[in-house]
Structure 1
């Protein structure tokens, strides 16, 4: 039997601290982690529906709705009709596209500060562990949905 460790408590506290530090680091830009996640996803994958963003970023619909509303007010996204008129496609605005590289540079700088003094081998192991945990959780969801 594995010795009990505060792994999940520490993981939760680490992610909370990461979000807090991320947001504090980007205060001058007016950007927050939730907004960056959406911007980065759309930048990589192109315009998409709210449902697609929820599914791929593991965000609850009401939470994403609030984030998207704030982003619209900030002129970071715009909703346009897609091929299916019932669903709107979410696009980045020119403002968001023009600021993307600057935001990304600041975020990379922040991330580099967070992982400084951690050898690449340890980071690779952490990434593998996180991916296995995500796979286990997704498999568990599929199993529960099939019951």
Structure 2
């Protein structure tokens, strides 16, 4: 296996393992990573539409709508009245704010535990590399699909 294959395998495996750890935390709150991503985007923006979330996650609007319907049923998000009946403006409900904070705190604790013992300068360098790599992938995607 050459270096690039080993890197790709390690990166994908790491993402999968981290996703599994985060899902274990979220499962305690009847959530999963897909639902969590939507909650994070709504929290970051205060209010947003399904289209905003689809764009941010780079997935289809129907896939987002399915997630949002689940979150509405769980009373974690609520829709606000808008002048455009075709778009719902969404925000976290009071329960959603509470659940978000609880999950966020637990995920922060998990990350602290997982990163304990790693050198801060190595973490900073790794973070910079991952951001550069992600930006390179995004640029490539934009060129081919934009």
- Please tell me the TM-score bracket, short chain as reference: 0.7 to 0.9
Q: 1:72-122 CA distances to partner (integer Å, 9 max, x unpaired)?
A: 111111233434332111211111113332222111111112222221111
Q: Contact 1:80/1:89 (CA < 8 Å) preserved in 2?
A: yes
RMSD: 2.1
Distance 1:21-1:3 versus aligned 2 partners, 3 A rule:
closer
Tell me the secondary structure at the aligned position of residue 24 of structure 1. Answer: helix
- Give the TM-score taking structure 2 as reference length: 0.84
Q: Is 2:97 aligned against 1:90?
A: no
Give the 4+ runs in structure 1 shifted more than 6 A: none
- Give the TM-score taking structure 1 as reference length: 0.84
Distance 1:125-1:60 versus aligned 2 partners, 3 A rule:
farther
Distance 1:92-1:121 versus aligned 2 partners, 3 A rule:
same
Which residue in the other structure is 2:19 paired with?
Answer: 19
Identify unmatched segments of 5+ residues in structure 1.
Answer: none
Tell me the secondary structure at the aligned position of residue 79 of structure 1. Answer: strand
Which residue in the other structure is 1:134 paired with?
Answer: 134
Q: 1:9-50 CA distances to partner (integer Å, 9 max, x unpaired)?
A: 111111111111111133322222222222222112111011
Identify unmatched segments of 5+ residues in structure 2.
Answer: none
